[in-house]
Structure 1
Protein backbone atom coordinates (compact mmCIF):
# COMPACT_ATOMS: atom_id res chain seq x y z
CA UNK A 1 0.00 0.00 0.00
CA UNK A 2 1.32 3.43 -0.91
CA UNK A 3 2.01 5.80 1.97
CA UNK A 4 -0.71 8.21 0.80
CA UNK A 5 -3.27 5.39 0.69
CA UNK A 6 -2.23 4.19 4.13
CA UNK A 7 -2.56 7.69 5.59
CA UNK A 8 -5.98 8.07 3.98
CA UNK A 9 -7.14 4.76 5.44
CA UNK A 10 -5.88 5.72 8.89
CA UNK A 11 -7.62 9.09 8.60
CA UNK A 12 -10.93 7.50 7.62
CA UNK A 13 -10.73 4.95 10.43
CA UNK A 14 -9.94 7.67 12.96
CA UNK A 15 -12.88 9.76 11.77
CA UNK A 16 -15.19 6.77 12.07
CA UNK A 17 -14.01 6.02 15.60
CA UNK A 18 -14.44 9.64 16.62
CA UNK A 19 -17.96 9.71 15.14
CA UNK A 20 -18.88 6.50 16.95
CA UNK A 21 -17.51 7.85 20.21
CA UNK A 22 -19.47 11.08 19.75
CA UNK A 23 -22.68 9.15 19.13
CA UNK A 24 -22.10 7.02 22.24
CA UNK A 25 -21.57 10.13 24.33
CA UNK A 26 -24.89 11.72 23.36
CA UNK A 27 -28.15 11.39 25.26
CA UNK A 28 -31.14 9.66 23.71
CA UNK A 29 -32.80 13.04 23.22
CA UNK A 30 -29.75 14.44 21.43
CA UNK A 31 -29.51 11.35 19.25
CA UNK A 32 -33.18 11.61 18.33
CA UNK A 33 -32.69 15.23 17.38
CA UNK A 34 -29.78 14.33 15.14
CA UNK A 35 -31.76 11.48 13.61
CA UNK A 36 -34.71 13.78 12.97
CA UNK A 37 -32.53 15.91 10.71
CA UNK A 38 -32.00 12.94 8.41
CA UNK A 39 -35.59 11.75 8.81
CA UNK A 40 -36.78 15.06 7.35
CA UNK A 41 -34.39 14.54 4.44
CA UNK A 42 -35.67 10.96 3.89
CA UNK A 43 -32.19 9.60 4.53
CA UNK A 44 -33.35 6.56 6.44
CA UNK A 45 -29.98 4.83 6.75
CA UNK A 46 -28.39 7.93 8.26
CA UNK A 47 -31.35 8.50 10.58
CA UNK A 48 -31.01 4.96 11.93
CA UNK A 49 -27.36 5.59 12.76
CA UNK A 50 -28.71 7.89 15.50
CA UNK A 51 -32.08 6.34 16.27
CA UNK A 52 -30.77 2.83 16.94
CA UNK A 53 -28.16 3.95 19.52
CA UNK A 54 -30.87 6.08 21.12
CA UNK A 55 -33.09 3.00 21.35
CA UNK A 56 -30.39 1.17 23.29
CA UNK A 57 -30.49 3.99 25.83
CA UNK A 58 -34.29 4.24 25.95
CA UNK A 59 -35.83 1.01 24.60
CA UNK A 60 -39.33 2.02 25.74
CA UNK A 61 -39.33 5.45 24.09
CA UNK A 62 -42.52 5.21 22.02
CA UNK A 63 -41.97 8.20 19.66
CA UNK A 64 -38.49 6.81 18.96
CA UNK A 65 -39.84 3.33 18.17
CA UNK A 66 -42.38 4.88 15.78
CA UNK A 67 -39.59 6.80 14.07
CA UNK A 68 -37.46 3.67 13.70
CA UNK A 69 -40.39 1.77 12.19
CA UNK A 70 -40.83 4.58 9.67
CA UNK A 71 -37.18 4.43 8.62
CA UNK A 72 -37.41 0.71 7.94
CA UNK A 73 -40.53 1.34 5.84
CA UNK A 74 -38.60 3.95 3.86
CA UNK A 75 -35.78 1.46 3.31
CA UNK A 76 -38.40 -1.08 2.29
CA UNK A 77 -39.68 1.26 -0.41
CA UNK A 78 -36.15 1.71 -1.75
CA UNK A 79 -35.27 -2.01 -1.70
CA UNK A 80 -35.09 -3.74 -5.08
CA UNK A 81 -36.21 -7.30 -4.27
CA UNK A 82 -39.38 -8.66 -2.68
CA UNK A 83 -37.35 -10.66 -0.17
CA UNK A 84 -35.47 -7.57 0.99
CA UNK A 85 -38.69 -5.55 1.16
CA UNK A 86 -40.29 -8.19 3.36
CA UNK A 87 -37.20 -8.40 5.58
CA UNK A 88 -37.19 -4.63 6.13
CA UNK A 89 -40.96 -4.66 6.56
CA UNK A 90 -40.54 -7.26 9.27
CA UNK A 91 -38.15 -4.96 11.12
CA UNK A 92 -40.59 -2.06 10.79
CA UNK A 93 -43.41 -4.24 12.04
CA UNK A 94 -41.40 -5.36 15.07
CA UNK A 95 -40.74 -1.77 16.15
CA UNK A 96 -44.30 -0.70 15.41
CA UNK A 97 -45.73 -3.53 17.48
CA UNK A 98 -43.48 -2.61 20.38
CA UNK A 99 -44.66 0.99 20.21
CA UNK A 100 -48.32 -0.08 20.06
CA UNK A 101 -47.92 -2.42 23.05
CA UNK A 102 -46.22 0.28 25.12
CA UNK A 103 -48.69 3.05 24.23
CA UNK A 104 -52.26 1.72 23.95
CA UNK A 105 -53.61 5.29 24.05
CA UNK A 106 -51.30 6.76 21.41
CA UNK A 107 -52.94 7.04 17.99
CA UNK A 108 -49.67 7.17 16.02
CA UNK A 109 -48.28 4.16 17.86
CA UNK A 110 -51.42 2.13 17.23
CA UNK A 111 -51.37 3.01 13.53
CA UNK A 112 -47.72 2.16 12.92
CA UNK A 113 -48.18 -1.63 12.53
CA UNK A 114 -51.15 -1.11 10.20
CA UNK A 115 -49.11 1.08 7.86
CA UNK A 116 -46.40 -1.58 7.72
CA UNK A 117 -48.87 -4.41 7.15
CA UNK A 118 -50.28 -2.44 4.24
CA UNK A 119 -46.88 -1.88 2.66
CA UNK A 120 -46.03 -5.58 2.96
CA UNK A 121 -49.27 -6.86 1.39
CA UNK A 122 -48.22 -6.62 -2.29
CA UNK A 123 -45.23 -8.88 -1.62
CA UNK A 124 -47.04 -11.53 0.41
CA UNK A 125 -49.03 -14.59 -0.51
CA UNK A 126 -52.81 -14.68 -0.38
CA UNK A 127 -52.95 -16.41 3.00
CA UNK A 128 -50.65 -13.84 4.61
CA UNK A 129 -52.72 -11.03 3.07
CA UNK A 130 -55.91 -12.51 4.48
CA UNK A 131 -54.32 -12.87 7.92
CA UNK A 132 -53.12 -9.26 7.86
CA UNK A 133 -56.46 -7.76 6.82
CA UNK A 134 -58.22 -7.81 10.22
CA UNK A 135 -55.07 -6.51 11.91
CA UNK A 136 -55.00 -3.50 9.59
CA UNK A 137 -58.67 -2.75 10.21
CA UNK A 138 -58.38 -3.14 13.98
CA UNK A 139 -55.31 -0.89 14.21
CA UNK A 140 -56.82 1.83 12.00
CA UNK A 141 -60.08 1.75 13.97
CA UNK A 142 -58.22 2.04 17.27
CA UNK A 143 -56.06 4.89 15.96
CA UNK A 144 -59.19 6.79 14.90
CA UNK A 145 -60.94 6.10 18.18
CA UNK A 146 -57.99 7.77 19.88
CA UNK A 147 -57.73 10.63 17.38
CA UNK A 148 -60.47 11.34 14.83
CA UNK A 149 -58.15 13.94 13.22
CA UNK A 150 -55.53 11.35 12.23
CA UNK A 151 -55.75 11.73 8.46
CA UNK A 152 -53.26 8.90 7.82
CA UNK A 153 -55.49 6.54 9.78
CA UNK A 154 -58.44 7.54 7.58
CA UNK A 155 -56.22 6.90 4.55
CA UNK A 156 -55.22 3.45 5.79
CA UNK A 157 -58.86 2.60 6.45
CA UNK A 158 -59.75 3.85 2.98
CA UNK A 159 -57.14 1.61 1.40
CA UNK A 160 -58.54 -1.31 3.41
CA UNK A 161 -62.06 -0.72 2.06
CA UNK A 162 -60.67 -0.13 -1.44
CA UNK A 163 -58.79 -3.44 -1.47
CA UNK A 164 -61.75 -5.45 -0.19
CA UNK A 165 -64.11 -3.84 -2.69
CA UNK A 166 -61.76 -4.98 -5.45
CA UNK A 167 -62.09 -8.64 -4.43
CA UNK A 168 -65.03 -9.60 -6.60
CA UNK A 169 -67.44 -12.51 -6.36
CA UNK A 170 -65.46 -14.57 -8.87
CA UNK A 171 -62.19 -14.17 -6.96
CA UNK A 172 -63.89 -15.03 -3.68
CA UNK A 173 -65.42 -18.12 -5.31
CA UNK A 174 -62.10 -19.25 -6.75
CA UNK A 175 -60.30 -18.46 -3.50
CA UNK A 176 -62.66 -20.69 -1.55
CA UNK A 177 -61.93 -20.70 2.15
CA UNK A 178 -59.02 -18.27 1.88
CA UNK A 179 -60.89 -15.28 0.46
CA UNK A 180 -64.06 -16.43 2.17
CA UNK A 181 -62.54 -15.40 5.49
CA UNK A 182 -62.46 -11.76 4.42
CA UNK A 183 -65.33 -9.36 5.10
CA UNK A 184 -66.93 -7.56 2.19
CA UNK A 185 -66.76 -3.81 1.70
CA UNK A 186 -67.58 -1.15 -0.86
CA UNK A 187 -65.83 1.51 -2.88
CA UNK A 188 -68.29 3.99 -1.40
CA UNK A 189 -66.85 3.28 2.06
CA UNK A 190 -63.35 3.89 0.72
CA UNK A 191 -64.43 7.18 -0.88
CA UNK A 192 -65.89 8.36 2.44
CA UNK A 193 -62.58 7.64 4.20
CA UNK A 194 -60.46 9.42 1.60
CA UNK A 195 -62.84 12.40 1.62
CA UNK A 196 -62.40 12.59 5.39
CA UNK A 197 -58.60 12.38 5.06
CA UNK A 198 -58.60 15.26 2.54
CA UNK A 199 -60.87 17.36 4.76
CA UNK A 200 -58.43 16.94 7.66
CA UNK A 201 -55.22 17.34 5.66
CA UNK A 202 -55.60 18.62 2.08
CA UNK A 203 -51.82 18.78 1.62
CA UNK A 204 -51.13 15.04 1.22
CA UNK A 205 -51.15 13.96 -2.40
CA UNK A 206 -51.71 10.32 -1.45
CA UNK A 207 -55.28 11.08 -0.40
CA UNK A 208 -56.20 12.46 -3.82
CA UNK A 209 -54.49 9.73 -5.82
CA UNK A 210 -56.11 6.91 -3.86
CA UNK A 211 -59.49 8.63 -4.01
CA UNK A 212 -59.06 8.82 -7.78
CA UNK A 213 -58.01 5.16 -7.98
CA UNK A 214 -61.14 4.22 -6.05
CA UNK A 215 -63.31 6.14 -8.50
CA UNK A 216 -61.51 4.26 -11.29
CA UNK A 217 -62.58 0.97 -9.66
CA UNK A 218 -66.13 2.29 -9.67
CA UNK A 219 -65.99 3.15 -13.36
CA UNK A 220 -66.41 6.86 -12.62
CA UNK A 221 -63.76 7.97 -15.08
CA UNK A 222 -64.16 11.74 -14.84
CA UNK A 223 -63.78 11.79 -11.05
CA UNK A 224 -60.89 9.32 -11.27
CA UNK A 225 -59.01 11.47 -13.73
CA UNK A 226 -59.74 14.65 -11.76
CA UNK A 227 -58.41 13.47 -8.42
CA UNK A 228 -55.45 11.46 -9.70
CA UNK A 229 -54.34 14.42 -11.81
CA UNK A 230 -54.77 16.76 -8.85
CA UNK A 231 -52.62 14.55 -6.65
CA UNK A 232 -49.92 14.11 -9.26
CA UNK A 233 -49.68 17.89 -9.72
CA UNK A 234 -48.84 18.39 -6.05
CA UNK A 235 -45.19 18.65 -4.97
CA UNK A 236 -43.47 15.65 -3.40
CA UNK A 237 -43.32 16.16 0.36
CA UNK A 238 -43.10 12.63 1.75
CA UNK A 239 -40.81 9.71 1.07
CA UNK A 240 -43.39 7.56 -0.73
CA UNK A 241 -44.83 10.34 -2.90
CA UNK A 242 -42.89 9.33 -6.06
CA UNK A 243 -44.14 5.74 -5.66
CA UNK A 244 -47.71 6.97 -5.21
CA UNK A 245 -47.45 9.14 -8.29
CA UNK A 246 -46.36 6.09 -10.25
CA UNK A 247 -49.50 4.31 -9.03
CA UNK A 248 -51.44 7.31 -10.26
CA UNK A 249 -49.76 7.23 -13.68
CA UNK A 250 -50.56 3.55 -14.08
CA UNK A 251 -54.18 4.14 -13.10
CA UNK A 252 -54.53 7.03 -15.56
CA UNK A 253 -53.08 4.90 -18.34
CA UNK A 254 -55.83 2.31 -17.81
CA UNK A 255 -58.68 4.80 -17.95
CA UNK A 256 -60.77 4.69 -21.13
Structure 2
Protein backbone atom coordinates (compact mmCIF):
# COMPACT_ATOMS: atom_id res chain seq x y z
CA UNK A 1 0.00 0.00 0.00
CA UNK A 2 2.83 2.38 0.88
CA UNK A 3 4.41 1.86 -2.53
CA UNK A 4 1.05 2.44 -4.24
CA UNK A 5 0.60 5.70 -2.33
CA UNK A 6 4.10 6.91 -3.25
CA UNK A 7 3.45 6.17 -6.93
CA UNK A 8 0.09 7.94 -6.87
CA UNK A 9 1.48 11.00 -5.05
CA UNK A 10 4.28 11.28 -7.60
CA UNK A 11 1.81 10.91 -10.49
CA UNK A 12 -0.49 13.60 -9.05
CA UNK A 13 2.44 15.97 -8.54
CA UNK A 14 3.52 15.45 -12.16
CA UNK A 15 0.02 16.22 -13.39
CA UNK A 16 -0.03 19.42 -11.33
CA UNK A 17 3.36 20.42 -12.74
CA UNK A 18 1.90 19.91 -16.22
CA UNK A 19 -1.04 22.22 -15.29
CA UNK A 20 -3.51 19.32 -15.37
CA UNK A 21 -5.20 20.05 -12.06
CA UNK A 22 -8.52 18.44 -12.96
CA UNK A 23 -6.65 15.18 -13.61
CA UNK A 24 -4.43 15.50 -10.53
CA UNK A 25 -7.36 15.86 -8.12
CA UNK A 26 -8.85 12.35 -8.60
CA UNK A 27 -5.36 10.85 -8.21
CA UNK A 28 -4.98 12.51 -4.81
CA UNK A 29 -8.46 11.21 -3.99
CA UNK A 30 -7.26 7.70 -4.81
CA UNK A 31 -4.48 8.20 -2.25
CA UNK A 32 -7.11 9.05 0.35
CA UNK A 33 -8.99 5.85 -0.44
CA UNK A 34 -5.84 3.96 0.55
CA UNK A 35 -4.74 6.32 3.34
CA UNK A 36 -7.63 8.49 4.60
CA UNK A 37 -5.30 10.19 7.10
CA UNK A 38 -2.69 11.25 4.52
CA UNK A 39 -2.27 14.94 5.34
CA UNK A 40 -0.36 16.00 2.18
CA UNK A 41 -3.09 14.43 0.02
CA UNK A 42 -5.84 16.10 2.08
CA UNK A 43 -4.08 19.46 1.66
CA UNK A 44 -3.72 19.03 -2.10
CA UNK A 45 -7.37 17.98 -2.44
CA UNK A 46 -8.42 21.07 -0.49
CA UNK A 47 -6.21 23.42 -2.50
CA UNK A 48 -7.19 21.98 -5.89
CA UNK A 49 -10.91 22.03 -5.14
CA UNK A 50 -10.64 25.71 -4.27
CA UNK A 51 -8.59 26.53 -7.37
CA UNK A 52 -10.69 24.53 -9.81
CA UNK A 53 -13.90 25.81 -8.24
CA UNK A 54 -12.78 29.41 -8.60
CA UNK A 55 -12.55 28.92 -12.37
CA UNK A 56 -15.94 27.19 -12.60
CA UNK A 57 -18.56 29.28 -14.43
CA UNK A 58 -21.53 27.35 -13.04
CA UNK A 59 -22.37 28.79 -9.60
CA UNK A 60 -23.71 25.52 -8.25
CA UNK A 61 -20.56 23.63 -9.23
CA UNK A 62 -18.39 26.43 -7.84
CA UNK A 63 -20.11 26.15 -4.46
CA UNK A 64 -19.71 22.36 -4.46
CA UNK A 65 -15.99 22.65 -5.13
CA UNK A 66 -15.51 25.27 -2.39
CA UNK A 67 -17.43 23.18 0.15
CA UNK A 68 -15.37 20.12 -0.74
CA UNK A 69 -12.17 22.13 -0.38
CA UNK A 70 -13.22 23.28 3.07
CA UNK A 71 -14.15 19.73 4.14
CA UNK A 72 -10.75 18.39 3.12
CA UNK A 73 -9.05 21.22 5.02
CA UNK A 74 -11.13 20.52 8.11
CA UNK A 75 -10.21 16.84 7.96
CA UNK A 76 -6.53 17.71 7.77
CA UNK A 77 -6.86 20.19 10.64
CA UNK A 78 -8.49 17.58 12.87
CA UNK A 79 -5.50 15.32 12.25
CA UNK A 80 -2.78 17.94 12.85
CA UNK A 81 -3.68 21.50 13.84
CA UNK A 82 0.00 22.42 14.24
CA UNK A 83 0.92 21.67 10.62
CA UNK A 84 1.70 24.94 8.82
CA UNK A 85 0.43 23.80 5.42
CA UNK A 86 -2.81 22.55 7.02
CA UNK A 87 -3.38 26.02 8.47
CA UNK A 88 -2.71 27.55 5.05
CA UNK A 89 -5.28 25.41 3.25
CA UNK A 90 -7.93 26.01 5.87
CA UNK A 91 -7.32 29.77 5.60
CA UNK A 92 -7.46 29.54 1.80
CA UNK A 93 -10.63 27.44 1.80
CA UNK A 94 -12.27 29.83 4.27
CA UNK A 95 -11.45 32.71 1.91
CA UNK A 96 -13.11 30.86 -0.95
CA UNK A 97 -16.13 29.94 1.19
CA UNK A 98 -16.53 33.60 2.13
CA UNK A 99 -17.32 34.34 -1.53
CA UNK A 100 -20.59 32.42 -1.20
CA UNK A 101 -21.56 33.34 2.36
CA UNK A 102 -23.79 35.95 3.98
CA UNK A 103 -22.51 39.19 5.49
CA UNK A 104 -22.30 37.85 9.04
CA UNK A 105 -20.50 34.71 7.88
CA UNK A 106 -18.07 36.81 5.82
CA UNK A 107 -17.03 38.81 8.88
CA UNK A 108 -16.59 35.64 10.93
CA UNK A 109 -14.55 34.12 8.10
CA UNK A 110 -12.36 37.24 7.91
CA UNK A 111 -11.41 36.83 11.56
CA UNK A 112 -10.70 33.13 11.09
CA UNK A 113 -8.64 33.61 7.92
CA UNK A 114 -6.28 35.93 9.78
CA UNK A 115 -6.02 33.55 12.72
CA UNK A 116 -5.15 30.52 10.60
CA UNK A 117 -2.64 32.45 8.47
CA UNK A 118 -0.89 33.67 11.61
CA UNK A 119 -0.87 30.13 13.01
CA UNK A 120 0.70 28.86 9.80
CA UNK A 121 3.51 31.40 10.20
CA UNK A 122 3.96 30.52 13.85
CA UNK A 123 4.42 26.83 13.00
CA UNK A 124 6.64 27.57 9.99
CA UNK A 125 8.09 31.11 9.64
CA UNK A 126 9.24 30.25 6.10
CA UNK A 127 5.76 29.50 4.72
CA UNK A 128 5.53 32.03 1.89
CA UNK A 129 1.88 31.21 1.17
CA UNK A 130 0.87 32.13 4.71
CA UNK A 131 2.51 35.55 4.40
CA UNK A 132 0.76 36.07 1.07
CA UNK A 133 -2.65 35.22 2.54
CA UNK A 134 -2.01 37.56 5.46
CA UNK A 135 -0.99 40.27 3.01
CA UNK A 136 -4.18 39.83 1.00
CA UNK A 137 -6.21 39.88 4.22
CA UNK A 138 -4.67 43.20 5.28
CA UNK A 139 -5.14 44.64 1.79
CA UNK A 140 -8.83 43.76 1.57
CA UNK A 141 -9.83 44.62 5.15
CA UNK A 142 -7.90 47.92 5.14
CA UNK A 143 -9.71 48.83 1.92
CA UNK A 144 -13.16 48.80 3.56
CA UNK A 145 -14.64 52.26 3.83
CA UNK A 146 -15.99 53.82 7.03
CA UNK A 147 -19.60 52.83 6.32
CA UNK A 148 -18.69 49.22 5.56
CA UNK A 149 -16.62 48.90 8.74
CA UNK A 150 -19.34 50.57 10.82
CA UNK A 151 -22.04 48.27 9.45
CA UNK A 152 -19.84 45.25 10.08
CA UNK A 153 -19.27 46.34 13.68
CA UNK A 154 -22.95 47.12 14.35
CA UNK A 155 -24.43 43.98 12.87
CA UNK A 156 -21.73 41.34 12.79
CA UNK A 157 -18.93 42.23 15.21
CA UNK A 158 -15.72 44.20 14.93
CA UNK A 159 -12.98 43.29 12.48
CA UNK A 160 -9.35 43.18 13.62
CA UNK A 161 -7.13 46.11 12.67
CA UNK A 162 -5.59 45.98 9.21
CA UNK A 163 -3.39 48.31 7.18
CA UNK A 164 -1.99 48.73 3.69
CA UNK A 165 1.51 49.03 5.18
CA UNK A 166 1.08 45.64 6.85
CA UNK A 167 -0.19 44.15 3.60
CA UNK A 168 2.93 45.35 1.79
CA UNK A 169 5.17 44.08 4.58
CA UNK A 170 3.65 40.61 4.33
CA UNK A 171 3.76 40.54 0.54
CA UNK A 172 7.41 41.57 0.62
CA UNK A 173 8.16 38.84 3.14
CA UNK A 174 6.47 36.30 0.89
CA UNK A 175 8.55 37.57 -2.04
CA UNK A 176 11.77 37.20 -0.07
CA UNK A 177 10.87 33.60 0.74
CA UNK A 178 9.65 32.68 -2.76
CA UNK A 179 10.96 35.07 -5.46
CA UNK A 180 9.15 33.22 -8.29
CA UNK A 181 5.61 33.32 -6.81
CA UNK A 182 3.81 35.14 -9.61
CA UNK A 183 0.53 35.93 -7.85
CA UNK A 184 2.42 37.65 -5.05
CA UNK A 185 4.07 40.04 -7.54
CA UNK A 186 0.69 41.00 -8.94
CA UNK A 187 -0.90 41.59 -5.54
CA UNK A 188 2.15 43.51 -4.29
CA UNK A 189 1.99 45.72 -7.39
CA UNK A 190 -1.68 46.45 -6.65
CA UNK A 191 -0.76 47.37 -3.08
CA UNK A 192 2.02 49.73 -4.19
CA UNK A 193 -0.32 51.34 -6.71
CA UNK A 194 -2.85 51.97 -3.95
CA UNK A 195 -0.06 53.44 -1.82
CA UNK A 196 0.79 55.84 -4.66
CA UNK A 197 4.13 54.23 -5.53
CA UNK A 198 3.50 53.77 -9.22
CA UNK A 199 7.15 53.19 -10.18
CA UNK A 200 7.47 50.29 -7.74
CA UNK A 201 4.27 48.74 -9.09
CA UNK A 202 5.51 49.02 -12.67
CA UNK A 203 8.88 47.49 -11.80
CA UNK A 204 7.19 44.52 -10.12
CA UNK A 205 4.87 43.92 -13.06
CA UNK A 206 7.74 44.08 -15.54
CA UNK A 207 9.73 41.60 -13.48
CA UNK A 208 6.65 39.39 -13.30
CA UNK A 209 6.84 39.08 -17.08
CA UNK A 210 10.20 37.32 -16.73
CA UNK A 211 8.81 34.59 -14.47
CA UNK A 212 7.80 31.16 -15.70
CA UNK A 213 4.31 29.82 -15.02
CA UNK A 214 4.42 27.76 -11.86
CA UNK A 215 0.77 26.69 -11.77
CA UNK A 216 -2.32 26.68 -13.96
CA UNK A 217 -3.68 29.97 -12.61
CA UNK A 218 -0.47 31.85 -13.45
CA UNK A 219 -1.72 32.22 -17.02
CA UNK A 220 -4.62 34.36 -15.84
CA UNK A 221 -2.42 36.21 -13.34
CA UNK A 222 0.01 37.07 -16.14
CA UNK A 223 -2.86 38.40 -18.26
CA UNK A 224 -4.15 40.56 -15.38
CA UNK A 225 -0.61 41.79 -14.74
CA UNK A 226 -0.25 42.91 -18.34
CA UNK A 227 -3.56 44.75 -18.17
CA UNK A 228 -2.49 46.54 -14.98
CA UNK A 229 0.92 47.40 -16.46
CA UNK A 230 -0.76 48.87 -19.56
CA UNK A 231 -3.03 50.94 -17.31
CA UNK A 232 -0.11 52.26 -15.24
CA UNK A 233 2.07 53.14 -18.25
CA UNK A 234 -0.66 54.63 -20.38
TM-score range, shorter chain: 0.7 to 0.9
- Normalising by structure 1, what TM-score? 0.80
Checking the alignment, whether the CA contact within 8 Å between 1:151 and 1:198 is kept in structure 2 is yes
Note the 1:1-256 alignment, pairs <5 A. 27-173=4-150, 177-178=154-155, 181-252=158-229, 255=232
Give the Cα–Cα distance (whole angstroms) in 2 for the partners of residues 123 and 83 of structure 1. 10
Bigger radius of gyration: 1
Change (3 A) 1:96 1:251: same
Deviates more, 1:139-148 or 1:100-109: 100-109
Change (3 A) 1:151 1:90: same
Deviates more, 1:88-97 or 1:113-122: 113-122
Unaligned runs of 5+ in 2: none
- Normalising by structure 2, what TM-score? 0.87
* Superimposed CA distance per residue, residues 217-249 of structure 1 (whole angstroms, 9 cap, x where no aligned partner): 223222222223322442211222123234434
How big is the shift at 1:195? 0.9
How big is the shift at 1:251? 4.0
How big is the shift at 1:253? 5.7
Deviates more, 1:175-184 or 1:129-138: 175-184
How big is the shift at 1:98? 1.0
Deviates more, 1:135-144 or 1:40-49: 40-49
Give the Cα–Cα distance (whole angstroms) in 2 for the partners of residues 203 and 141 of structure 1. 22
How big is the shift at 1:31? 2.4
Give the Cα–Cα distance (whole angstroms) in 1 for the partners of residues 223 and 123 of structure 2. 32
Unaligned runs of 5+ in 1: 1-23
SS class of match (1:134): helix
Give the Cα–Cα distance (whole angstroms) in 1 for the partners of residues 145 and 229 of structure 2. 22
How big is the shift at 1:151? 0.7
Change (3 A) 1:168 1:195: same
Alpha-carbon RMSD across the aligned residues, in angstroms, is: 2.4
* Superimposed CA distance per residue, residues 148-179 of structure 1 (whole angstroms, 9 cap, x where no aligned partner): 01111110110011111111213324556247
* Superimposed CA distance per residue, residues 27-53 of structure 1 (whole angstroms, 9 cap, x where no aligned partner): 333322322221222322322332222
Change (3 A) 1:180 1:131: closer
User: Which of 1 and 2 has higher RCO (CA within 8 Å, sep 6+)?
Assistant: 2
Checking the alignment, whether the CA contact within 8 Å between 1:68 and 1:92 is kept in structure 2 is yes
Checking the alignment, whether the CA contact within 8 Å between 2:153 and 2:159 is kept in structure 1 is no
Give the Cα–Cα distance (whole angstroms) in 2 for the partners of residues 219 and 124 of structure 1. 32
